[in-house]
Amino acid sequence: MRSMRTWVLAITLAAVPAAASAQLRTEVYATGFNQPVAFVQDPTNRSVFFVLEQAGRVRVVRDRTVLAQDFLDLTGAVLCCGERGLLGLAFPPDSATTGRFFVNFTDRNGHTVVARFRRSAANPLVADPASRFDLRWISTGFRVIGQPFSNHNGGHLAFGPDGFLYIGMGDGGSGNDPQNHAQTPVSLLGKFLRIDVSVSDSDSNGYRIPPDNPFLDGDPVVAYGEIWSFGLRNPWRYTFDDPALGGTGALIIGDVGQNRREEIDYEPRGRGGRNYGWRLREGTLPNVQSLPAAYLPLVEPILDYGRGDGASVTGGYVYRGRALPSRYRGRYFYGDYFGRAWSIALAISAATGEAQASDRTEHTAEFGGDARLGGGISSFGIDALGELYIVNHQEGLILKIVGPPVAPPTPTAPRIIR
Q: Above 50 in pLDDT, residue 204?
A: yes
| Rounded CA separation 159/240 (Å) | 8
Q: Report strand pairing: 285-286 vs 281-282.
A: antiparallel
Backbone angles phi, psi at 365, to 5 degrees: -65, -45
Question: What residue ranges do the domains of the chain occupy?
Answer: 26-402
**226-243 mean pLDDT:** 98
Q: Within a 13 Å sphere around the CA of 263, how many CA atoms are in the beta-carbon half? A: 25
Identity of residue 42:
D
Contacts of 101 (CB under 8 A, 6+ apart): 89, 90, 91, 92, 95, 116, 117, 118, 119, 127
Asked if residue 220 has a cis previous peptide bond (ω within 30° of 0), the answer is: yes
Inter-residue contact 188 to 226 (CB < 8 Å):
yes
Q: In sequence order, what DSSP letters do the residues of 17-71 get, joined into one string?
A: PPPGGGS-EEEEEEE--SSEEEEEE-TT-TTEEEEEETTSEEEEEETTEE-SS-S
**Superfamily classification of domain 26-402:** TolB, C-terminal domain (2.120.10.30)
**246-261 mean pLDDT:** 98
Q: Above 90 in pLDDT, residue 306?
A: yes
pLDDT for position 407: 63
Q: Above 60 in pLDDT, residue 12?
A: no
Q: Above 70 in pLDDT, residue 70?
A: yes
Backbone angles phi, psi at 241, to 5 degrees: -75, 100
Percent of the chain with pLDDT over 90: 91
Q: What is the pLDDT of residues 140-149, one digit of tens each?
A: 999 999 999 9
| Rounded CA separation 207/307 (Å) | 40
pLDDT for position 413: 67
Q: What is the pLDDT of residues 17-38, one digit of tens each?
A: 333 456 899 999 999 999 999 9
Residue 410: which pLDDT band, with cuts at 50, 70 and 90?
A: low
Q: What is the largest CA-CA distance in the chain?
A: 85
Q: 28: closest CA among 54, 67, 64?
A: 64
What mean pLDDT value characterizes the chain?
93
Q: What is the pLDDT of residues 88-101, one digit of tens each?
A: 999 999 999 999 99
Q: Above 70 in pLDDT, residue 208?
A: yes
Torsion of CA 391, 393, 397, 403, to 10 degrees: -40
Q: How many CB atoms lie within 10 A of CB 201?
A: 11
Provide the whole-model pTM: 0.92
**DSSP-derived 3-state class of residue 228:** strand
pLDDT for position 405: 80
Q: 340: closest CA among 382, 391, 377, 393?
A: 377
Identity of residue 396:
G
pLDDT for position 6: 30
Q: 117: closest CA among 104, 100, 105?
A: 100
Number of H helices and number of E strands within the chain? 3, 27
Q: Above 50 in pLDDT, residue 1?
A: no
pLDDT for position 11: 29
Residue 417: which pLDDT band, with cuts at 50, 70 and 90?
A: low
Question: H/E element holding 12?
Answer: helix 4-14
pLDDT for position 14: 33
Q: Secondary structure of 97-155 in the HEC alphabet?
A: HHCEEEEEEEECCCCEEEEEEEECCCCCCCEEEEEEEECCCCCCCCCCECCCCCCCCCC
| Rounded CA separation 314/324 (Å) | 21
